[in-house]
Amino acid sequence: MSPNVSPLKLETLDQLCINTIRTLAMDAVQAADSGHPGTPMALAPVAYCLWQRFLRFDPEDPIWPNRDRFVLSVGHASMLLYSLLHLAGVKAVNKEYERLGELSVPLEDIKTFRQLDSRCPGHPEYRWTSGVETTTGPLGQGVAVSVGMAIAERWMAAHFNRPNFEMFSHDVYALCGDGCLMEGVSSEAASLAGHLKLSNLCWIYDNNHITIEGPTTLAFSEDVATRFVGYGWNVTRVSDANDLAMLERAFRTFKQTSDRPTLIIVDSHIAYGAPHKQDTHGAHGAPLGEDEIRLTKRAYGWPEEAKFLVPDGVREHFAAGMGKRGHELREEWMKRFEDYRAKYPQLADELYQMQHRQLPQEWDQNIPSFPADPKGLAGRDASNKVLGAIARRVPWLIGGSADLAPSTLTRLTFDGAGDFTADTAGRNLHFGVREHAMGSMLNGLAHSKVRPYGSTFLIFSDYMRPAIRLSALMEIPTIYIFTHDSIGVGEDGPTHQPVEQLASLRAIPGLITLRPADANEVAEAWRVVMQLQHEPTALVLSRQALPTLDRAKYAPTQGLRHGAYILADAKNGKPKVILIGTGSEVALCVQAYEELTAEGIAARVVSMPSWELFDRMDAAYRNHVLPAEVKARVVVEQASVMGWERYVGSSGAVIGMKTFGASAPLKALQQKFGFTPEHIIRVVKDQLKT
């Protein structure tokens, strides 16, 4: 704030800015004839106080690494964020992390709110609108992601900070509502945040007593304050969302709390327009209407017919407050980074590479290769060895599991890896039995540019699917490691045997699903995964041992990077039948291939670990692997048959799961469901008859 402005003028400017946020939201929703004006109007003072007086954010550089994060978990209130981004003059950034100089949210985009190609979509979208720290909309996701961001700050501070060089010290704020706190993912995330004592985390809870169906008393009557005290949070309350002095006091309380996260409960009343209006239907999730907007603007002392008005002085006020503060902090940080680079060049290089999603030189130098072995190695065992080798070379590769590290084999065991706890910031994260929140927190870690991985059994990918979907939508390289990938789980039975999960993951646009066939394919899969910058990956691994194929006899594993490759071929390169397998079933295809070849049947084996990577290849390569003229095709996969018709055609066969599994030893299950070389051969011969 300018010291030359009188207190009365400051108060007037504060209210002018708040009402500008409100009226922009009203006008945008009305123009779109769609959206939620009530929450942006009610929370405008809260967001204004935070942004103008506390948030450490430089509008000129919205990806400055040590900026505070603001997450709008109530994504339906998107116009609140778009108004702030516009008034603060936040600049746009492209995928190459270059600032383009233009506004992230021009006024024209606010005027086309919720319209095609507008930078103001219905809910905030990361990568689409600079200044949006994460995509929100599904309630609870934003607050859960914010916990991952807070963990990332703690880890980065421990790894990079040195005496007199505080490179990371930012805070994470998330604005949430009743819906966020009803969703189970927020409970999971809040529980872990309290356990880890993340004092850099502040949730602001809009306690407005209303949801889409009506008052929260219909379904929500718990004592939220007591609940969060039980989680180990500091809880404070602001009884009036319009009281800037009390809001400022609450934020200062958060800043002074050093041993736990903070929940600020803000009592608000959803805004429905002019004070006389009592009808609670519509304004929460629909436009106010032109008449109501005019009445509301009259109550604000606003020109009633003006639309998308930004009065003189509003942008300047933001620039003198938030803009000036953030720019100075960013400039200080950049200067500090140059000094840091001189004194700690290796750490500075790591910080730069991490922030730009680059990899160190020779990052894959120590990835092991595995000798041919008919007994082989489980996918999870091979991954453990590869992960450890990569993590030694990529210090910001961190992660853990949803209480299953002894089974998924994802713990880093080398010296210095350590555990992430309330007191230490090691690289092994313990998410507890919280799959959904783990997925969201991994996304928060990825937003902060560390490279996160999280693991559980493939069957439990269902518990975290919303977070996986959002990682794909946001184009962030989160790594999901799923073990126990098939009915090979055996005696655990159908509750733990994934059947439809592979098809479900493959259905998510932008997600790379990889199911490697042996230990060397696992190593190659990790090479592919680590080089992805804008795609998340589901790495699907076996519990049981898989034969390690002799690569002197069969094709090298480099073909994996194409998604599918010819592993074994007919002697003349002109097969009569093609066997396609993934994961553990590739070895069955190879066994069948050897017997068919011995019988003089020209067969080809295609290992297809990733549909997505294969579909990216040009038509010539795809036709080389799967020639159109070869109609006899057999897919073998211990999963749902759904989707495989795209590769086998209308006349091909799929040996897969059409029911749930059963509780029995693996060999008995393979016999029951037809996953044997003998059955594959019978199906092949039937194909050749047609």
Summarize pLDDT for 44-95 with one digit per residue, the tens. Answer: 999 999 999 999 999 999 999 999 999 999 999 999 999 999 999 999 998 7
Judged against a pLDDT cut of 60, whether residue 333 lies above it is answered with: yes
pLDDT digits (tens, 9 = 90+) for 162-193: 999 999 999 999 999 999 999 999 999 999 99
Q: Average pLDDT for residues 127-148, to the nearest whole number? A: 97
Judged against a pLDDT cut of 50, whether residue 242 lies above it is answered with: yes
Judged against a pLDDT cut of 50, whether residue 8 lies above it is answered with: no
Residues forming a β-bridge with 237: 265
Mean pLDDT over each residue of the chain, to the nearest integer: 94
Residues 582-620, buried b or exposed e (16+ Cβ, 10 A)?
A: bbbbbbbbbbbbeebeeeebbbbbbbbbbbbbbeebeee
- DSSP assigned state of 578: E
Q: Average pLDDT for residues 630-635, to the nearest whole number? A: 97
**How high is the pLDDT of residue 1?**
37
**How high is the pLDDT of residue 581?**
98
Judged against a pLDDT cut of 50, whether residue 7 lies above it is answered with: no
On whether the CB atoms of residues 54 and 1 are closer than 8 A, the answer is no
Q: Average pLDDT for residues 260-280, to the nearest whole number? A: 67
**How high is the pLDDT of residue 402?**
98
- DSSP assigned state of 101: E
Judged against a pLDDT cut of 90, whether residue 690 lies above it is answered with: no
Question: Confidence class of residue 270 from pLDDT cuts 50, 70 and 90?
Answer: low
Q: What is the residue extent of each domain of the chain?
A: 7-330, 373-547, 559-689
Q: Average pLDDT for residues 642-646, to the nearest whole number? A: 97
**How high is the pLDDT of residue 9?**
54
pLDDT digits (tens, 9 = 90+) for 426-468: 999 999 999 999 999 999 999 999 999 999 999 999 999 999 9
**How high is the pLDDT of residue 95?**
75
Instruction: Give kind and range of the element (H or E) at residue 353.
Output: helix 345-355
CATH T-level topology, domain 559-689: Rossmann fold (3.40.50)
Q: Average pLDDT for residues 593-601, to the nearest whole number? A: 97
To 10 degrees, the CA torsion angle through 540, 404, 527, 358?
130
Give the residue numbers annotated as catalytic, written as ranges: 435
Fold equal for 7-330 and 373-547? yes
One-letter amino acid for residue 401 of the chain: S
Question: Confidence class of residue 11 from pLDDT cuts 50, 70 and 90?
Answer: low
The correct CATH number of 7-330 out of 3.40.50.970, 3.40.50.300, 3.30.43.10, 3.30.720.210 is 3.40.50.970
Q: Average pLDDT for residues 479-487, to the nearest whole number? A: 97
pLDDT digits (tens, 9 = 90+) for 103-135: 999 999 999 999 999 999 999 999 999 999 999
Judged against a pLDDT cut of 70, whether residue 596 lies above it is answered with: yes
**How high is the pLDDT of residue 539?**
98
Q: Average pLDDT for residues 257-276, to the nearest whole number? A: 78
Query: What contacts 108, CB < 8 A, 6 or more positions away?
Result: none
**How high is the pLDDT of residue 286?**
81
Question: Confidence class of residue 212 from pLDDT cuts 50, 70 and 90?
Answer: confident
Judged against a pLDDT cut of 50, whether residue 281 lies above it is answered with: no
Query: What contacts 374, CB < 8 A, 6 or more positions away?
Result: 547
**CATH code assigned to 373-547:** 3.40.50.970
**How high is the pLDDT of residue 269?**
78
**How high is the pLDDT of residue 285?**
65
On whether the CB atoms of residues 135 and 34 are closer than 8 A, the answer is no
Question: Confidence class of residue 214 from pLDDT cuts 50, 70 and 90?
Answer: confident
- Starting at the earlier edge strand, list the strands of the sheet with 633-640: 565-568, 603-607, 577-581, 633-640, 653-657
Q: Average pLDDT for residues 400-417, to the nearest whole number? A: 97
